[in-house]
Chain A
Amino acid sequence: MTGGSIASRLPALEDVPQWNELHFSRMRRTDDCSLTTTGHLISQSTTEIRAALNNFDTSDILLLDDTSFSGNTNLLAKKVIKKAFPDRKITINHGFLIVNEGNLAPKVPGAIGRLGLALAGHRMRTPHDDGWHIFDIVQQPDLERHMENLQRALHHSEHEKALFTGSISTDALIKLQVEERFVTTRKEINGEWHIKNPQPLPQIIAAGHVEPIENWPNENEVFDTLLRMGKIINGEV
């Protein structure tokens, strides 16, 4: 579910048929400072999955993804694949670069507890460990203005709408849900506005993993560095 970037590095899978079109993007609420997950955008509808895999042996499938904290994405993938082929017996296996073998809350298991077995390069354990995709900080549109807004928002310990340009409404999510482009395990979608891969720094600071920005002695250097990261990633330098 990484567009083939993992499978292509594993010689053992060289002769195994691969399908790299299925991926999920986590949607988060942008009107809630904890950026709680709303659900997932899905790249393929059930009909498209059936059409793409119809001529393949789907009895044993290995789902590969970079990270699994809760196991949710893989459980959703399993659900949509089985929905696409209700007439087939399919065994789903899981492989990750990093997998969470801890709990999300007391008596609430993380990925390993929910998926059972999984192959993984690294293992982590919540709540003892925590993690974010570092490039979500700088892979944002109009990065220069974004960083200015981020700096201002973090100083005032509040979120600014300017940080989440590109948010979509709950009504838009429901429309995507009807088209099978959005899936959620929630009974109803909470919140008014949602976005995929939002700027995570407010959440990281709120979680206490990074000091509030007013305590940073080198604030401007930090933001200059983030801008440089963004320019390199976007091929602008």
Chain B
Amino acid sequence: MENQTNQVLWMAEELDFKLTEKNNQSELFDVTEHFLDMVAARGLSHRLYPAGRNS
């Protein structure tokens, strides 16, 4: 499938703005990034915006 999109923004502002005080925020970052890695097949470009480590 042709993909002309430059980047897919997975807007995870909740990571920063909704979950700051949760103890498991670190695991959430890891799990979310793991998900993005798994679905980022065949040249899919992704960024985790705005607070993720990929941004």
Contacts and interface: CB of A to CB of B under 8 A. Distances in A.
Interface of A: 2, 5-6, 9, 66-67, 97-98, 121-122, 124-125, 127-135, 204, 208-212, 215-216, 218, 221-222, 225-226, 228-229, 232-233, 235, 237
B50 to A, nearest CB: 5
B11 A67 contact: yes
A229 B49 contact: no
Contacts of A211: 1, 39, 41-42, 44
A9 B13 CA distance: 13
Interface of B: 1-14, 17-19, 22, 24, 27-28, 31-32, 34-36, 38-39, 41-42, 44, 48-50, 55
A9 B16 CA distance: 11
A129 B8 contact: yes
A3 to B, nearest CB: 9
A130 B35 CA distance: 18
Contact of A235 (B22, B31, B38): B22
Given A98-B11, A228-B31, A208 B1 contact: yes
A209 B13 contact: no
Contacts of B5: 127-130, 208-209
B44 to A, nearest CB: 6
Contacts of B50: 97-98, 121-122
A216 B1 contact: no
Contacts of A9: 17
A193 to B, nearest CB: 25
Going nearest first, the 4 A-B pairs with the smallest beta carbon separation are A131-B9, A134-B10, A5-B17, A128-B6
